[in-house]
C-alpha cells in the first residue's frame, strides 16, 4: 500500500493536494485536500469548518482558524500574497 500526494491530472483551479491510496494495484481511496489560509495545514474538502469569502469557499482545520479568518480575512489573504511577492523579488 502506498500514498501518492499530487495534483489530479488536467486540474484547472487553485492549488490543492490529492491523496490516493492504492492497495494491490487498485485505487481504494482518493481524497482532495485544501489549504487552511490561517495556519497552512492541509485539510479535507469535506471539513465542517468552511466559509465563503468573495464568492470562494475557504477551508479550515479548526473552528479557531475559521474564526480568526472571519474576523480579519485580509490579514491572511495578504500574508499569502506578500509571501509570493517576496519570493518573486528574490528571484
Each residue's pLDDT tens digit, 18-44: 677 778 888 777 777 889 999 999 898
pLDDT in tens, 37-63: 999 998 988 899 999 999 999 999 999
- Helix (H), strand (E) at residue 89: helix 73-90
Q: What is the mean pLDDT of the chain?
A: 75
User: Could you count the other beta carbons within 10 Å of the beta carbon of residue 69?
Assistant: 21
Residue 9: its pLDDT value, please?
53
Q: Is the pTM of this model over 0.75?
A: no
User: Cell 469548518 appears where?
Assistant: 49
- State mean pLDDT over 9-15: 51
Q: At a CB cut-off of 8 Å and minimum separation 6, what does 27 contact?
A: 20, 21
pLDDT at 73 exceeding the cut of 60? yes
Separation of alpha carbons 38 and 31, rounded Å: 21
Amino acid at each position: 500500500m502506498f500514498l501518492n500526494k499530487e495534483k489530479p491530472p488536467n486540474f484547472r483551479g487553485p492549488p490543492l493536494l490529492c491523496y490516493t491510496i492504492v492497495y494491490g494495484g487498485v485505487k481504494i481511496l482518493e481524497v482532495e485536500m485544501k489549504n487552511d489560509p490561517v495556519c497552512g495545514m492541509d485539510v479535507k474538502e469535506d471539513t465542517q469548518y468552511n466559509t465563503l469569502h468573495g464568492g470562494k469557499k475557504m477551508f479550515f482545520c479548526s473552528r479557531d482558524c475559521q474564526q480568526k479568518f472571519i474576523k480579519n480575512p485580509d490579514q491572511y489573504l495578504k500574508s499569502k500574497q506578500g509571501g509570493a511577492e517576496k519570493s518573486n523579488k528574490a528571484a
